[in-house]
Chain A
Amino acid sequence: MQKEAAIREPLILGDKTYHQITEDVCAPVEGKANKYWYIVFSLSVMVALWGVGCILYTIGRGIGVWGLNTTVDWAWDITNFVWWVGIGHAGTLISAVLLLFRQKWRMAINRSAEAMTIFAVIMAALFPGIHMGRIWMAYWVFPLPNTFGSLWVNFNSPLLWDVFAISTYFSVSLVFWYIGLIPDFATIRDRAVKPVSKMAYSVLSFGWTGNAKAWIRFEEVSLVLAGLATPLVFSVHSIVSMDFATSVIPGWHTTIFPPYFVAGAIFSGFAMVQTLLLIARKVLSLESYITVKHAEYMNIIIVITGSMVGVAYLSELFISWYSGVEYEAYAFLNRATGPYWWAYWSMMTCNVITPQLFWFKKIRTSLIASFILSIFVNIGMWFERFVIIVTSLHRDFIPSSWSMFHPTFVDIGIFLGTIGIFFTLFLLFSRFFPVLALNELKSILKSSGDNYKKKH
C-alpha cells in the first residue's frame, strides 16, 4: 500500500468505509431527486428547447438569419465553438495529465469533469456544423472517394485538421470516460432492486466481473489512454488556434497562439469545473469527497493558467508594436481603444486581474469567492474569443468595408440554448450516473482517508 505524509491534508473527510463510499455515491442515483433538481432541470430544458428552435430556424432559413455580414463573417458561432472546446479541456486534463502525475486529488472530480468535457465538445461541434449552412452535407469534411466531384478534402488546411482533432478528442474522451464508468455501473447493477434499473445498469456495465486480471487490464488501459490523451489535449487546442494563426489577418497571424490557446483552454475548463462542482457537492451532499482542498488545488491551477494567459496578452500587445507592422499595431490599438474597447477590457478584467485574487489563501479557500471568480473567468474567456475574432475582422484593410457585428435573436438563442443543452445533459448525468469514480476513491481510502490517516 502507498504511504502518504501525515501532514498532507486528507482527501476523503469523515469516518468513511468502502461501503459508506458506495452508499454516498449511489444515493443520488438510487434516491429521488429533490425539488431543486427538478426546478433547475425544467429551466435548462426550456432554454435548451429555445436553442433547438433557433438551430432549426437557422437550418431552415440559412445562416443569413445570424448577424454576420461580409466583413464580420465569423462571429458568435466560432466564438462559441472555441469557448466550448476550451471548456472541454479540463476534463481530460484532470483525468489524463493528473493521472500521469499520480495526483490523487483528481479522483473526486475526474468523473464529472470528463462528463463536462464530453458535453462541452458536443456543444462545440454543433457550431461548425450549423455554420456550414447545409448541415446535411456535413459528411463532406471526411476524405470520401470522390463521387461528389473530383477533389479530396484539403489536408493542408487547419480547418480539416480541426475535423480530425475534434472528432478524435471527442471519441477518445468518451471511451476513456466510459471505461472508467463500467466498474461503477457494475456496483449500481449489483445494488439495484427495481427490475428496470437492474436491467439498464446490467447493459451499461457490460457484464463487468472485477476479477484480478480485469483490474490489471483496467489500470493498464487507463494509463495508456492517459498517455495518449495528454498530447491530444495539447494538440486539439493548438490546432483550433491554427484556424486563426495560419491566416493573414492582423491580430490572428501570430505564432504565440497555440500555447496561449492551450493555457486559456485549461483556464476556462477549470473555471467551469469549479462552477459545476461547487454546486454539485452541495446538491448531491458530496462535501466529504469534494473538499475545500480540492477547490483550492483547482484555484491554484486557475491562477497559474490565468497568469499565463495574461503574459500572452501582454506579449501580443508588445510584439504588435515591436514588429513595426502598422496593420498589426493598429489591430491591437483598435482592440483596446476602438469601438469594442468594452469587450477587450471585460476580457482583461475577468481573465487577468480578478483571478490574481487567488494568490490570497483566504480567497482561494473560500468556496463563495471561488464560485464567483469562476463565473468571472467563464465570462472573461468568452470575451477573449469574441475579441480575437470580431475585433480583428470588423476593421478590414479597406476602411470603406469597416463594419460592426450585431447579434440577432437567433445568435443569442443558439448560444443560450447550448448552455441549456449542456446543463440538461449534466443534470441527467448527475441523476443516473455515478458522479464520483467509486473504484478509484476506494483505492485511495486507506492512504488519503481522514479516519485512516488519524489511526497511523
Chain B
Amino acid sequence: MSKAIYALYDDDDVMVEGAKSILSKNIRIKDVYSPFPVHGLENVLGIKWTRLAITAFLYGLTAMTLALIGMWFFMIQDWPMNIGGKPNDFLYQNLPAFIPITFEFTVLCAAHGMALTYFIRNKTFPGMPARNPHPRTTDDHFAIEISRDENSGVSDDDIRAVLQETNPVEIFEK
C-alpha cells in the first residue's frame, strides 16, 4: 500500500483554504508542494521559521576572526614589512588597511557556509532524483500530502472525503 494520499490543486488560495479545512478536521498534513513560495502557508501548517540566517551570522563571525588572526600572523607576527615607515608593531596600528579583506572574507564565508547548509538541509545535491509527488507541482499545481502513518486513526475513505470537500482537481496516492 502506498504511504501517502495527495490532493492536487490548481490555485494557491484554494489550496491554503483547503489546508485550513483539512487541519480543522483533525487530519495531519505532512507537507505541501508548490511551484513558488506561498506566503502565510507556514502559519497555517505551523512550520517553524528556518534558522539559516543564524548560521550565516556564525559563519561570518568565524571568518572575521580567522581573517584578523591570519593578517595579524602574516603582517605583524611572522614577517612585518616596512611600508613607508608606518608603524606596524601591533594589529590595531595596521587595522584600517586590513578592513577590506576582513569584510570580503566575512561575506565569502557567510554566503558559502549558508548556501552549503541550505543544500544539506534541503537534501539538494547534483544528481539527486526528483522527489516532488507530481510533475506539475513545479509548474502550476499545488499538492497537499497526507501521510497514512501520521493519521493511523482515520480511515482512507474519511481522508478522501475530507480532501474531496476542499475542491481539488485530483486526488492520488503514491
Contacts and interface: CB of A to CB of B under 8 A. Distances in A.
Contacts of A231: 103, 107
Contacts of B36: 183, 215, 438-440, 442-443
Interface string A142-174: 010000001111111010110011011001100
Contacts of B27: none
A221 interface: yes
B53 A156 contact: no
Interface string B28-50: 00011111111101100101011
A164 B100 contact: yes
B131 A18 contact: no
Interface in B104-148: 104-105, 107-108, 110-112, 114-115, 118-119, 121-132, 135-140
Interface in A392-449: 438-440, 442-443, 446
26 contacts: A2-B39, A150-B79, A152-B78, A155-B71, A164-B105, A164-B108, A171-B112, A172-B111, A175-B111, A186-B138, A187-B139, A191-B139, A206-B124, A206-B128, A210-B33, A210-B34, A210-B138, A211-B33, A212-B33, A212-B34, A213-B50, A216-B42, A217-B50, A225-B111, A231-B103, A442-B35
Given A216-B50, A228-B111, A190 B132 contact: yes
Given A164-B101, A186-B138, A225-B114, A207 B37 contact: no
B89 interface: no
B139 A217 contact: no
A89 interface: no
B53 to A, nearest CB: 5
Nearest to A146: B79
B81 interface: yes
- A-B residue pairs, 3 tightest by C-beta: A207-B128, A18-B140, A190-B135
A242 to B, nearest CB: 8
Contacts of B39: 1-2, 443
Given A143-B74, A183-B138, A439 B13 contact: no
Nearest to A442: B36
A186 B50 contact: no
B151 interface: no
B52 interface: yes
Interface string A288-315: 0000000000000000000000000000
A155 B74 contact: yes
Interface residues on B, range: 35 or more
A207 B127 CA distance: 7
Interface in A363-408: none
B70 interface: yes
A205 interface: yes
Given A165-B104, A212-B45, A220-B53, A439 B35 contact: yes
A121 interface: no
Interface of A: 1-2, 17-19, 22, 143, 150-156, 158, 160-161, 164-165, 167-168, 171-172, 175-176, 179, 182-183, 186-187, 189-191, 202-221, 223-225, 228-229, 231-232, 235, 239, 242, 438-440, 442-443, 446
Interface in B44-89: 45, 47, 49-50, 52-53, 56, 70-71, 74-75, 78-79, 81, 83
B21 interface: no
B130 A161 contact: no
A2 B104 CA distance: 35
A175 B107 CA distance: 12
B126 A206 contact: yes
B15 to A, nearest CB: 11
Interface in B128-173: 128-132, 135-140
A191 B134 CA distance: 11
Given A152-B78, A154-B75, A207-B128, 16 more contacts: A151-B81, A152-B79, A155-B74, A165-B104, A171-B112, A172-B111, A186-B138, A187-B138, A191-B139, A203-B126, A206-B119, A209-B124, A211-B132, A215-B37, A218-B37, A221-B118
Contact of B31 (A211, A218, A220, A221): A211
Contacts of A235: 100, 103-104
Contacts of B75: 152, 154-156
Contacts of A191: 135, 139
Contacts of B79: 150-152
A175 B132 contact: no
Contacts of B98: 155
A175 B139 contact: no
Given A165-B100, A216-B42, A443-B36, A224 B52 contact: yes
A378 B132 CA distance: 44
Nearest to B126: A203
B74 A156 contact: no
A161 B104 contact: yes
Contact of B94 (A156, A171, A203): A156
A268 B39 CA distance: 35
B91 to A, nearest CB: 11
B97 interface: yes
Given A164-B104, A211-B31, A224 B138 contact: no
Contacts of B108: 164, 167-168, 171-172
A8 B50 CA distance: 33
Contacts of A171: 108, 111-112
A143 B104 contact: no
Contacts of A209: 33, 122, 124, 130-132
B139 A18 contact: yes
Contacts of A190: 130, 132, 135-139
